[in-house]
Amino acid sequence: MARCAFCDANFETGPGDVLLVCPYCGTAQTTEGTKFQDHYMIRVHFDQGEAQTTLLDWVSKQLGVPEDLNVASKFVKYQQIWYPFWISRVDAHTDYQGMGRDANFYNEWPQRRGAYKRIDFFWKPESGAFTRRHEINIAGVKNIDADVRSHPIPTRAKEYFSHAHAEEFDGKVLHSNMTEDQAKKLAHQIAHDRQTNLVLQEVTKIDSRQDKIDVGETFLIHVPVWELEYRYGNKKYKASVSASTGYVIESQYPRSMSFRAGGIGVGLIMLLLGAGLIMLATGILTDLVGIAAMLQGGGLISGGLLAILGLLLIYKGASSKEAKENV
Amino acid sequence: MGSEAEAADMFKCPVCNGNVKTGPDDVVISCTYCGSTSTIEGKAIGDHLMETAVDADERMQGFHSFLDKNKGMNKSLVQGCQVVENRLIYVPIWTAKVKADSYYKGYRTVQVPVQKTRTVRDSDGKSRTETYTDYETGYEPVQDEIHTDTDERLLARKGARFYGLEDYLETINLAKTVPYDFQKIKDLEPALLNAEIGQEEFEKAIHGRVADRHRSQAGSGLTELFDCRTTTNVRGTTYLQAPFSLIRYKFEGDLYKAAIDGNTGRVVLGEIPITRGQRIMWTLLGIIGIIVAGGGGELFMGAGMGINVQPDGDIMQIVLGIAAIIIGIIMTFGGFRVLIMTQRTKKG
């Protein structure tokens, strides 16, 4: 439980929540009650109905999805979750000194000018500098789905966080597990690591380096995502849809019985046919049933192809996968 | 849908004095009333360009011709598609000429053919020497330079991505741009996106991008890249507002999308549905492929084992056999790949 420093209301917080958003007045604040200014959001452009229609229309084109999905599926859960992300811009400049690899070449091949028989590596001191600007995006909550974590924050304009807007769709605004200082520290660390990777492309051993890492503007942005669950037949399927762009971040989906049966059945037939052809070609059948080896070339190749495709179809028929929309 | 945010920033347009609602991070702003574009400090952006846009009908035409070109045997695609979204957005883009010079050093390994001799014993027990070709490793030092002078573009929005973005940026032709004139595009009711990335920031970002590209180009084909130094020179930075539209369409109840270049109305990247009929056709092709490959195998083995060959026919037969095997395998995998694909992605 926390008490809002601005409207005095009590509200729920989870363990680890350090940057809180009051569900009554919408003020972002630290646990000590300091107001946090740089708090933004992306506006919702797809309401619940639109998000659900978009999801079903999109999912229904996936492989083997039953044709009556649009009419027969029922949404059992729909919640708009506002995920917090920290976005920092980091200017980094690294001067480095270190040892880089180089090589001498000996004994030219007479058969090929310019190529040598022996290579001798040696270390030589190198120095240089890398200047980069990094944009670093850190999820503000720990238990976040990897796909939601990496979905692109939409191109739509961001705005100051409006609690009224989130409330319009009964959105649940997640508190951030991270304070601004922690986010900046992490951004600093990530930028430092990226610079290290750049330097390590030039030198193998870093002797000394001077980093000027300047974590600039850092802000908190809440991004709305519809977390949906629908029932088709006896099973439930989960999906996440971006509430601002309508992109399907990820979705589980049903496969029709006829698709599964077809995939496994046809796959099995192909696998058997393939195996039969291979046995025929290699002459195994000669010992068993007395058929002489025949179709030696064609049997092996066609049989092999049939067997591979058969296995693939069986796998497709039996597997269930999540689908993601490419952006 | 949606209420006004209480705390939206207001920007006073220095030209018409209108109040423009802006995003918190916008640094270059186009006035929603008069269209004039200035920095957040109120300075007009010099030499600022735009691409003109075509109206929704022409975009639809471009979209339909894209479908028509890619419909394959699905004759009903153009009539059967139902467009649910087709909105014009002007996206902010920074462009510049970037001259980059890299010097790099590394080595690659090559296979050097070496003639060798060996003694062999033939079936009669006599020994003789024969020469053969062996391959040995050679190390080839590489020292080279890369010089490029390219047009670079960057979407002036932070962390943003949209469908078809890379292909769209490629299509922008600077020769076709005109000085920015809001009156020309006003009637199309475009959504104007403001820039979140300023000029100085763009120039920094683009240096890193070109340098990284040079490094990967230098490193490709090398066993090890010892050194790579790049200097860049960015010039002629221009702010450009470019029209883009995302079309979402439904076909037989399923949802697909296509990215449209708003300047020409042509599709840059789009998804094409695969109908049941097409899947069946491709599967048939795959099955034919299996038979072709099998036939090729028979020819090949037949020639190799000396069964029913005419004199001198066997080289021909082996070549034909191998060709049939390769074609058959390609047909098989090509055909069955379409069977299990969700949709096809086509460039315009």
Q: How far apart are CA A325 and CA B255, in angstroms?
A: 11
Identify the domain boundary among A229, A254, A279: A254
Query: Is A39 domain-assigned?
Result: yes
Listed by number, the residues of chain A in 16-35 with a beta carbon closer than 8 Å to a beta carbon of chain B are none
Residue that is last in its domain, among A254, A278, A300: A254
Instruction: Examine the domain organization and report whether B199 and B325 are in the same domain.
Output: no
Last residue of a domain, one of B215, B238, B273: B273
Domain match, A165 and A248 both: yes
Whether A163 and A141 map to the same domain: the answer is yes
The verdict on a CB contact (< 8 Å) between B255 and A296 is no
Residues 6+ apart with CB under 8 A from A103: A119, A120, A121, A122, B107, B139, B141, B226
More confident residue, B91 or B304: B91
- Are the C-beta atoms of B112 and A112 separated by less than 8 Å? yes
Is residue A228 within 8 Å of residue A77, measured between CB atoms?
Answer: yes
Chain centre to alpha carbon of residue A76: 25
Does A265 fall in a domain?
Answer: yes
B283 belongs to a structural domain: yes
Closest listed residue to residue A64, CA positions, set B248, B221, B336, B339 = B339
**DSSP conformational letter for A45:** -
Instruction: Indicate if B179 and B255 belong to the same structural domain.
Output: yes
Q: Are residues A233 and A277 in the same domain?
A: no
Q: How far apart are CA A210 and CA A300, in angstroms?
A: 63
Whether pLDDT at B95 is above 80:
yes
B168 plus B67 within the same structural domain = yes
Same domain membership, residue A270 and residue A241: no
pLDDT at B142 over 90: yes
Is residue A192 domain-resident?
Answer: yes
Q: Are residues B170 and B158 in the same domain?
A: yes
Q: In angstroms, what separates the C-alpha of B125 from chain A's closest C-alpha? A: 33
Which positions in chain A touch B255 (Cβ < 8 Å)? 54, 57-58, 60-61
| Alpha-carbon gap, residue A227 to B158, rounded angstroms | 25
Chain B interface mutation, best of A87, A202, A305, highest count of B Cβ atoms under 10 Å:
A305
Q: For position B1, what pLDDT does the model report?
A: 34
What pLDDT is attached to residue B256?
Answer: 92
Q: Distance between CA atoms of B21 and A72, rounded to whole angstroms?
A: 44
Q: Which of B229, B246, B273 is the last residue of a domain?
A: B273
Buried b (16+ CB within 10 A) or exposed e, B98-123: bebebbbbbbeebebeeeeeeeeeee
* Structural domain for A312, as ranges: 258-322
The pLDDT score that the predictor gives to residue A157 is 65
What is the separation, in whole angstroms, between the first and last Cα of chain B? Answer: 34
B35 touches chain A (CB under 8 A): no
Say yes or no for a CB contact (<8 Å) between B254 and A58: yes
> Which residue in B300, B302, B342 is closest to A62 by CB distance?
B342
Q: Are residues A36 and A167 in the same domain?
A: yes
Chain A partners within 8 Å of B105 (Cβ): 102
* B155 and B260, same domain (yes or no): yes
Same domain, A45 and A21: yes
Of the candidates B195, B188, B161, which has an alpha carbon nearest to the alpha carbon of residue B265? B188
Q: Which residue has the higher pLDDT, B22 or B347?
A: B347
User: B249-287 pLDDT, tens per residue?
Assistant: 999 888 899 999 999 999 999 999 998 888 899 999 999
Residues 6+ apart with CB under 8 A from A160: A39, A40, A41, B5, B6, B7, B8, B9, B24
- If you write DSSP's letter for every residue of A166-199 in order, what string do you get? HHHTT-EEPPBSS-HHHHHHHHHHHHHHHHHHHH
Q: How many helices (H) and strands (E) does chain B have?
A: 7, 13
Domain carrying residue B318:
277-347
Of all residues in chain B, the one with the smallest CA distance to A138 is B159
CA distance A139 to chain B (A): 14
Q: Domain for residue A148, yes or no?
A: yes
ipTM above 0.90, yes or no: no
**Residue B302: closest CA among chain A residues belongs to which residue?**
A297
A165 and B24: CB-CB below 8 Å?
Answer: no
Q: Is residue B130 part of a domain?
A: no
The rounded distance, in Å, linking the Cα atoms of B303 and B8 is 80
Indicate the pairing of strand B9-12 with strand A322-323.
unpaired
> Residues A249, A308: one domain?
no
Closest Cα in chain B, distance from residue A58 (Å): 5
Whether A305 and A265 share a structural domain: yes
pLDDT of residue B46: 61
Residue A79 covered by a domain: yes
A191 and A134 Cβ atoms separated by less than 8 Å = yes
In a shared domain, residues B323 and B223? no
Residue from the list A128, A132, A155 with its beta carbon closest to the beta carbon of B162: A155
pLDDT score recorded for residue A156: 61
B209 and B259 together in one domain: yes
Does residue B90 share a domain with residue B71?
yes
pLDDT at B304: 54
A43 assigned to some structural domain: yes
Q: Is residue B12 part of a domain?
A: no
Q: Is residue B297 part of a domain?
A: yes
Give pLDDT < 50 ranges for chain A.
none
Q: Kindly state whether residue B112 falls inside one of the protein's structural domains.
A: no
The minimal CB distance from B162 to the residues A100, A102, A327 is found for A327
Q: Are residues B82 and B172 in the same domain?
A: yes
Alpha helices in chain B (DSSP H): 56-70, 77-80, 165-171, 182-185, 199-219, 276-304, 313-339
**CA-CA distance, A185 to A192, in Å (whole number)?**
10
Q: Between residues 171 and 210 of chain B, which touch chain A (CB distance below 8 Å)?
A: 193-194, 201, 204-205, 207-208
The pLDDT value recorded for residue A154 is 66
- Enumerate the residues of chain A whose CB falls inside 8 A of the CB of residue B9: 160
Residues on chain A touching B254 (C-beta within 8 angstroms): 57-58, 60-61
User: Residues A195, A287: one domain?
Assistant: no
- The confidence score (pLDDT) of residue B313 equals 58
Smallest CA–CA distance, residue A44 to chain B, in Å, is 7
- Cα–Cα distance, B162 to B244 (Å, whole number): 10
> Which residue, chain included where needed, has tokens 């030696």?
A296
Last residue of a domain, one of B232, B255, B273: B273
pLDDT value of position A319: 81
Number of domains in chain A: 2
CA A220 vs. chain centroid, Å, equals 21
The reply to whether A63 and A155 lie within a common domain is yes
Q: Does pLDDT of B299 surpass 50?
A: yes
Note whether B29 and B42 are same-domain residues: yes
pTM exceeds 0.80, yes or no: no
Q: Which of residues 199-258 of B touch A (CB under 8 A)?
A: 201, 204-205, 207-208, 215, 224-229, 248, 250, 253-256
A145 and A202 fall within a common domain: yes
**How far out from the chain centre does Cα A49 lie?**
26
Same domain? For B298 and B312 the reply is yes
Helices (H), B76-131: 77-80
d(CA B315, CA A325): 50
Alpha-carbon distance of B193 to B178, in angstroms, equals: 18
Are the C-beta atoms of residues B324 and B295 closer than 8 Å to each other? Answer: yes
A244 shares its domain with A159: yes
Quick one: angle between helices A296-318 and B276-304, nearest 10? 150
- Within a domain: residue B119? no
Chain B's closest residue to A86, CA to CA, is B159
Cβ atoms of A91 and A133 within 8 Å: the answer is yes
In percent, the amount of chain B with pLDDT more than 90 equals 29
Of A254, A270, A289, the position where a domain reaches its end is A254
CB-based contact B248:B84 (threshold 8 Å): yes
Q: Which two tokens stand for residue A319?
A: 């597997």
List all residues 6 or more positions away from A60 whose beta carbon is below 8 Å from its beta carbon. A67, A69, A70, B253, B254, B255
| A119 found inside a domain | no
Look at residue A75 and tell me if it is in a domain. yes
Contact at CB, B8 and A159, closer than 8 angstroms: yes
Cβ contact A302–B297 (<8 Å): yes
Distance of residue B325 Cα from the nearest chain A Cα, in angstroms: 8
Contact B288, B347 (CB under 8 A): no
What pLDDT does B309 receive? 45
Quote the number of domains for chain B: 2
- Cα separation, B262 vs B56, whole angstroms: 9
Q: Is B184 found in the same domain as B53?
A: yes
Pairs across A and B, CB distance < 8 A: 201
